[in-house]
Amino acid sequence: MGKTDLPQIITIVIFVISYILIFSGRLERSVAALIGLFMMVSAGYAFDFMNFEEALLHVNWEVVILLFGMMTYVGLMEKTGFFRYIGIKAIKLSKGNPWLIFLYLSLITTFVSMVIDNVTTILLMIPLTVEIAEMLEINPVPVMLGEAVLSNIGGVATMIGDPPNIMIGLVSGYTFNDFVVHLFPPVMVALIVSTILAGVIYRKWRRVEAKNIDKLMKLDPSRYIRNKRKMKYYLYLLFAMIFFFASQSYTGISPSFVALAGGVMALVISTEGPKEAFKAVEWPTLVFFIALFALVGGLDEVGLLSGLANGIASISSNVLLISILILWVAGISSAFVDNIPITAAFIPVVSSLMVDYNSGLLWWALAMGVGLGGNITPIGSSAGVITMSLSKRYGHGITNREWLKFGTVTGIASMAVCTAFLLIMV
């Protein structure tokens, strides 16, 4: 199709308007993305650069299917009471020590977020955190912040830990094992650095003496298990899914098929009908992804993304410098706009750069940038937005200043750690 300067200008305007609508929060983000898609396709028909069928070709259906499968599995697993069970177990081990509560709950959230979407993990952990903090009469804000920030860090370590990584993995062709080998080490160092910073920032809070410790120690974690038999089956299923994710390079089985199969098997194990089970699926999120992929496709159709890739390549022929640039530009961008749309915009750019550089460093830089940069502000990641919302709902609202005090420091420190790892990866 012929492309002129006018379609490029129009697509940029539509793209900016769409991102402002998504970023502002005035509309639910799936609705904002659909409005953007409508405008982009309408412009595509008017200026002959993209029709609706072509827009749908830009949707990465593997990402959508993988998310659907994992959402179905996690929603059914949550109903067994498993997450509250391990949370209560960890809290009892702390014996009411605020700092140990911070460490145990934050680290549980971090490691669970490596295999389960961190938004789901946050939704499960925040209510438990507030409940225990109120029992012990301590401020839950540091713990909630720790869970949100460290879960974002943990999500970077694997291909299925965070939506941006799922998107990157399925486009780049890298396997679950590739993500673990290249991203797990820097994530662990970033996690240690962030935990040390938390200890310094919350040094006064962690010395507070908790009350009603006897009530805490009387809690019976097993009471929170609603169905032990199903819980065991779902755990076996999770281990099987992780096995197939990890063995992709040998079996050739797509991660999206593994996730879909896991969701289907979870439905078989469950005695609930599909109508009840599918309530756990975040349908607006899936619609958001579909609309977002198609929206970014408009930029691709008029040649803007390849032009941006060429512009970045012209800055330097050094793949390390370009990778560092991607890490920080994507990271800072993710601090102000949710990292999912930032990832969607950057993926075609990195794909174009791969033609000339063919270096995995570019993909790892993008994954680390969007995953860790989202911690800099409370609106930079879905987990951050959810945490801020839940904290207000439960009467312990986190202020922007409180977030910046911890999230900004750890976000920048984590990105600095990953920059050092890029130097090692070359």
More confident residue, 164 or 314: 164
Structure token pair of residue 207: 């010395």
pLDDT tens-digit map of 98-147:
999 999 999 999 998 898 877 778 877 888 889 888 888 999 999 999 99
Whole-number pLDDT of residue 198: 95
Residue 44: its pLDDT value, please?
95
pLDDT band at 307 (very low <50, low <70, confident <90, very high): confident
**Model confidence band, residue 4 (pLDDT cutoffs 50, 70, 90):** low
